[in-house]
Structures are given as C-alpha cells and as structure tokens.
Structure 1
Amino acid sequence: LESKRLDLDACKNRVRKARSMLGQPTAERDLRVAQSEFDRQAEITKLLLEGVSSSHTRHLRCLHEFVEAQVTFYAQCHQAMQELQKDIASMSMGKTNNSPAMPHAHPSPSPSSTSGGLRARVLCDYDAKDSSELSLMTDEVITVHKIEGETDYMLAERGNQRGRVPTAFLDVIN
C-alpha cells in the first residue's frame, strides 16, 4: 500500500510539472492508472485488516475457552485432592484412636505375632500387587511364616495386617 501511495504521489507531481500538451495527457493517464492501483491495493489491505480483526477475535475467544477449561479442570483436581485429604485424615484419625502410635520405620512386632514366626528385615520397598500381598517399607522389621510348598513367598505379619511377600525382599533375622 505504501509503495502504491508513493507511485500515486509521483504521478501527481508529474501532472503538475507537465507543461506541454503532449506530456499532459500521458501524465494524467499515468495518474489515473496509479490512482486505480492505489484504490485497489487500499481495498485489499482493508479486507486483510478486517480478516485479521475477525481472526483475532476468534483466537481470543478460543483462548478464553481454553483458560476456562483449565480453570475448571484444576478446580476439579483441587476438590478431589481436598476430598482425598479428608479421607486420609479420617483414616489416620481412626487408627490413632484405635491403636497406639507406632513409628513407621521400625515397628516392633507384638509378642503374640512373634510366637511361631521368624523376624525379618525388609531390604527394599515393595508395593503389593493385589489384596493377598502386603506392602513393605525399607528397614521395616516384620514377622514372617514359611508357606508350605512356596519358596518364592512368605506370609508376613505387621500388627493386624497379613499378606504374602516375596522372599527376595526379606532378610530373615533369626
């Protein structure tokens, strides 16, 4: 558009400076051509700017929808975490009311659970694969019993919890 405007200005100056009758019509014809080129380019630029404006509005609307979706998602996550926090707090409150506090790293086995069983130290953390197994923490001391016909697993007891654990995760103490 700027280039077309400069061409138009140059043609206008030529028309003003044209003194002869022969140069005048040529300069006026060039002026009309330059004016039509400028008008055409101005219309194209106007349409492009309108497109940019509508595109900008559409992009802004999409961005607004995205931000709303993110806010909703994180609000739901926040609510879920608060509910989980309440559930965990109520579970831990139930345990502290029903049983004495025990340190997590080295719980001492109760006398009733040690009778007939062996003591074992957990070598590394183990997450139970299903409800028949017991999750373990490193350096935890538990009571274990051999399972007849099973060499890879032992029956472990921790307080009132029982479950199978792999023998590879245990170091039998006695």
Structure 2
Amino acid sequence: MTTSAEPTCVVVMGVSGAGKSTVARALADRLAWPLAEADEFHPPANIAKMSAGTPLTDADRAPWLAAIRDWITARAAAGESTVVTCSALKRTYRDVLREAGARVRFLHLDGTADVIGDRLRHRSGHFMPPSLLRSQFDALEPLRPDEDGAAVGVADPPELIAEHAVTRLDLPVGNPATP
C-alpha cells in the first residue's frame, strides 16, 4: 500500500463515454478523496464548440488543462490527495497535468469504439455529441510504460473498476486520519 506523505492525484482518463465520471466517483468514495470533474473547468467557448460538434484544438485545451493542473496543485498544497476526471487523451496533455504539485497518476478507462459509442448514444444531458467520438479515438495516445498509471477495461461495473484501480495503482483505501 502507498505510504508516501506526498499528495496524489488519480486522473481517471479516456474518451468521452468511457465512464470517467462514474468510475471516478466510485474511486473517490472508496479512497475518501475529493473529486473534480474536468468538464467543470472548460471555458464556455469550449463547451459551445463541442456542443456544435466541433472538436477542440490543442490551443483550446491548453487553458483548460492548466486550470485542472492548478486545482490539483492547490489541493495538494492543502495536503489533500484527489481524484480528477479528464480525457487526457495525449501524452502532452498528461505532461501538463504532471506539472501539478502532487504525484499525478493515471487510470485509463479502455474500451472499444463500439462499446463506448453505444454508451454515448444512450446518454443524455451531456454536451459531448457521439459524432465527436471518432476524433477522440483518433487523438488517443494510450499510456506508455514510463507513465505512472494503469489501464483497465470498461466492461466491469464501476465499483469493480474502482477496486481494480486501487489494487493496480496500490492506493490507500479510506481516510488515513480515520481510526
């Protein structure tokens, strides 16, 4: 089990529809860590672009990634480990997040375009249309061996995926301040 005093951030990453929000919520509950949804850091212009079916550019993503990184750093400065949802599709995006003042680790929710596309078609209330899924898979650069993280399949229920994450990333379960 991880015993480092350094705050950790687990970034639950993957394409839209992979289950980032649901798995991150289960993982944050299991670890008793605060959770941040990366979608809440998007400026209105990014949301408008995606809602219109236009993929974001790297320039569009730069301030968004910096805001997430800064949130991780602020929580780490307060001594808190965190869980964050973020597509983090490219290594360069993950590099920005790794600049945070915490140990940033990645949990890649990995699934096929068919499985995830079916999920997107049945999801409501989200600004990301299914038509952008192909662009996300095209941009996706899976974790490399030198990156701190693990990939897990999306077929299992969210609670089981969170359990796999705890095991694969050797994360402490529960609040260490709790007896």
| Fold match (TM-score > 0.5) | no
TM-score using structure 2 length = 0.20
Ranked by relative contact order (alpha carbons within 8 Å, sequence separation 6 or more), the top structure is 2
TM-score, normalised via structure 1 length: 0.21
Higher helix share: 1
Bigger Rg, structure 1 or 2: 1
